[in-house]
Structure 1
């Protein structure tokens, strides 16, 4: 059986942490801006670091597993 957890966790985190989609850290005028649909280089780097930290914690430390079938 294949473990589908990395696929699902990665997809959900990618969608939720896309800069400007739901929120953006940092924004142009504030610390956090919601639903701006704009992004910057600094925002991309911060969201990538948050993504890496969360996916590492969920897949390696918590060992989330999803088996289909």
Structure 2
């Protein structure tokens, strides 16, 4: 029996929090830009912090588990 919860949560958040895919914080011309497909170093850093915080909340604090088998 495998626990797929951490894998699913990590992949989903990685795809959704890719800078420039859905939003970019901070943007190149504004504070938040949507679907611009461009990024910067500070944007990558901010999105990394958001990713780490959300993964920590979902996997450690809430304890999401998806079992197969």
TM-score, normalisation: structure 2: 0.97
Looking at structure 1, the residues matched to 23 and 42 of structure 2 have their Cα atoms a distance apart, in angstroms, of 14
Number of the residue aligned with 2:46: 46
Aligned length: 69
1:28 Cα deviation from its structure 2 partner = 1.1
Q: Which runs of 5+ in 1 are unaligned?
A: none
Could you say which residue in structure 1 is the equivalent of 2:24?
Answer: 24
Root-mean-square deviation (Å): 0.5
**Normalized against structure 1, the TM-score is what?**
0.97
Q: Which has the higher strand share?
A: 2
Question: Unmatched 5+ residue regions in structure 2?
Answer: none
Q: Which runs of 4+ in 1 moved over 3 A?
A: none
